[in-house]
Structure 1
Amino acid sequence: MQGFLKRCALLVAISLCTGTAQAAEKVIFDTDFNVLNDDGQAFIMLAQLHAQKRIELLGMTLVSGNAWVDQEQVDALKAVERMGVEKEVGVYSGAAYPLLHDYATYEAEKSLFGSGWPGAFKHPRPTSPSQLVAPPDGLATHTKVRSETAAQFIVQSVRANPHQVTILAVGPLTNVALAIRSAPDIVPLIKRIVYMGGALEIPGNTTPAAEFNWWFDPEAAKIVLRSPIEHVIFPNDVCEKVTFDKSVYQRVIAHKGAIADLYKHEFGPLFDKDPSYHSFTWDSLPALFLVNPQIVTESRDVWVDVDATFGADYGRALGYKKGAPVGTQKANVVFGVDQKQFWDGYVSLVTLPTPVNH
């Protein structure tokens, strides 16, 4: 009997361990990728979390935003090789253009309302590989973009893993909108969408009204945010409270390696010129939130929409405590984070050795 009980206890223990392993959140990283701005930093964190089996990173889906998707492919392919996850984490190219917003519209907005960060709209889309810029440590040597489009990959992944896939959407929402519109059956099967986007109670960073991600494709943002899915939003309201400064930079470069070298290349000249230089790391906040939701110190349930009518408010995030328009969905919007806990978690991930240690 005692032996039988021991075997039962062992089976329970194995079952619990297996359950824990299976509990890793399945994540699609939908991104307007770059080498080492916020998207690049977030990916370093996600690749390490994937290696630690704290998340299961299904793939990276690219959407024009910060840059045209052509340049993002170059940067993303090198990124998965640099981190050593290229066999496990596919790169899927997505929407090259917003649903309706275009360069001509941007030129009109700029003249009428003013403009901050324009992303890809700062120049026409590249027409030749010679116009693309290699990452500081060179091009990818053996990794290619996967054959499926970003929207196809999102649809396939959600259907294959119902109620298990979180979409971490840190760029314009064109890919997600295309996936939802092409396959509406996936909407109730998506576990949740965690966003970096919008500016609810502060001015925008592209126009006085609008934050960049949702401004770049307001129609797509409206489609996605009005879908009955669990929405968790990190708007500029919280992201621009969290400052990357020289003290964080020095913590990162104290650890030698490929990632520290990238930080030195990207930020070293800026801090040499101005020791008080600082920036934000928008997309890293929702990336860490996936495994450490305790970083959030303040959040509120708000019904969120996007103004998709051309004018001074084009792309503005709209938040309602009550009286929201019909069709608007409730979102959990983050307004405060524990900055020490965030930066400790951030530094601990971006300073781990690369390629990742599985």
Structure 2
Amino acid sequence: MSVGDDQPTALPVFADVDTGVDDAMALVYLLASADADLVGIGATGGNVDVDQVCRNNLGLLELCGAPEIPVSRGADQPLSAAMRTAEDTHGPAGLGYAELPLHHRELTSYDSAEAWVRAAHALPGELIGLVTGPMTNLALAVRDEPNLPSLLRRLVIMGGSFDYRGNTTPVAEWNISVDPEAAAEVFDAWGRAADADAIAPHQLPIVCGLNLTENIALTPKVLSRLATAADTATTAMSVLDARGTRSTADNHVIRALEDAMRFYFEFHFDQGEGYLAHLHDPLAAAVALDPGLIQTRATTVDVELTGTLTRGMTIADWSRRWGRESNAHVGVGVDPEAFFDRFIERVGPFARRLAHS
């Protein structure tokens, strides 16, 4: 099945991110989308530390000529685990080789958990929540406002891995493994709301796990299509290029994205996956705007917290052996070509307009 509802012209979205390379691509996608109104950004530590995430978020808004969208600093530590970051995957500053412009933008005076609650109360029943990093901020927000599940129109999560391998441990995906307790609290909160009939089925989280997102494999050939759509000349990337080769694109947005993706390509190549990159977070951003892009199955999701070998693993009770109500719609199918077509047709012209503005 697909999960969806009638959509207005511009959907208000609050994005909670740990901005590394693919989070950046997700934010650019939202900014390029006429049907998205990015009303706030929360930062959490994950791919890099939370202060670097904040710098990346503010710099990306400047790069894209965005209005003064509120950006909040969130949790710098998981609920109970030790903090881990992934500079080996995303680069020392989280955006590979990309350089962001100078600016005078500032963070909000309130943290990301409060930002979630403020946005939900300002737009009850309308706000779409998107989480592409650890769920620490969202868990804290639900502690502060237990009615948050019923206030959101829908919630889309990039996290977990269902009947599929992990990318951090043999069974655990990165976002969940950084803060498994937060993820467990979030799924439990939406489960309790479902049990109490406080939310409708379409308000259950839509979960984009590795089993779904690793189908979205960006290659240099596809990335070259983005430059063409932006009407900018560039040199196609190759595995034979020297490490750290910089983009030749004269469009500043395309140049930044190519420099970020270069590092991501190199990381995936070193992991034995080929000269490509999985666009986990941009897919989740696209699903936030149009759930019909993927196929889902309703199920009960929980997170393993105590397993010696399985901590951070996400389990879907497909057979309903737990006897609990569904608390999520898990993504099980996607058409990568349809996603890339949509990404390119939005971000390419957006970058071209910025170059001429």
**Per-residue deviation, 1:26:** 1.5
1:192-207 residue pairs with structure 2 within 5 A? 192-207=154-169
**Per-residue deviation, 1:280:** 0.3
Corresponding position of 2:81 = 101
- Counterpart of 1:253 in 2: which secondary structure? helix
Runs of 4+ in structure 1 off by over 6 angstroms are 131-135, 269-274
- The letter for the 1-side match of 2:152 is I
- Counterpart of 1:334 in 2: which secondary structure? strand
Contact conserved, 1:28 with 1:154, CA < 8 A, in 2? yes
- Counterpart of 1:227 in 2: which secondary structure? helix
The change in CA–CA distance for 1:178 and 1:325 in structure 2 (over 3 A counts) is farther
Of stretches 213-222 and 136-145 in structure 1, the one that deviates more from structure 2 is: 136-145
Corresponding position of 1:32 = 18
Distance 1:173 1:323 in 2: 25
Note if 1:90 corresponds to 2:70. yes
- The letter for the 2-side match of 1:263 is L
Corresponding position of 1:306 = 303
Note if 1:259 corresponds to 2:253. yes
What is the TM-score normalised by the length of structure 2?
0.79
- Counterpart of 1:143 in 2: which secondary structure? coil
Note if 1:70 corresponds to 2:51. yes
The change in CA–CA distance for 1:324 and 1:33 in structure 2 (over 3 A counts) is farther
- The letter for the 2-side match of 1:61 is G
**Per-residue deviation, 1:268:** 4.9
- One of 173, 196, 214 as aligned partner of 1:211: 173
The root-mean-square deviation of aligned C-alpha atoms, in Å, is 2.8
**Per-residue deviation, 1:23:** 4.9
What is the TM-score normalised by the length of structure 1?
0.79
Distance 1:269 1:213 in 2: 20
The change in CA–CA distance for 1:328 and 1:67 in structure 2 (over 3 A counts) is farther
1:237-256 residue pairs with structure 2 within 5 A? 237-254=211-228, 255=230, 256=232
**Per-residue deviation, 1:262:** 1.4
Distance 2:22 2:115 in 1: 23
Where does the alignment leave 5 or more consecutive residues of structure 1 unmatched?
1-19, 107-117, 123-130
**Per-residue deviation, 1:24:** 2.5
Aligned residues: 310
The change in CA–CA distance for 1:74 and 1:231 in structure 2 (over 3 A counts) is same
- One of 261, 265, 280 as aligned partner of 1:282: 280
Where does the alignment leave 5 or more consecutive residues of structure 2 unmatched?
1-5, 191-202, 233-250
**Per-residue deviation, 1:151:** 0.5
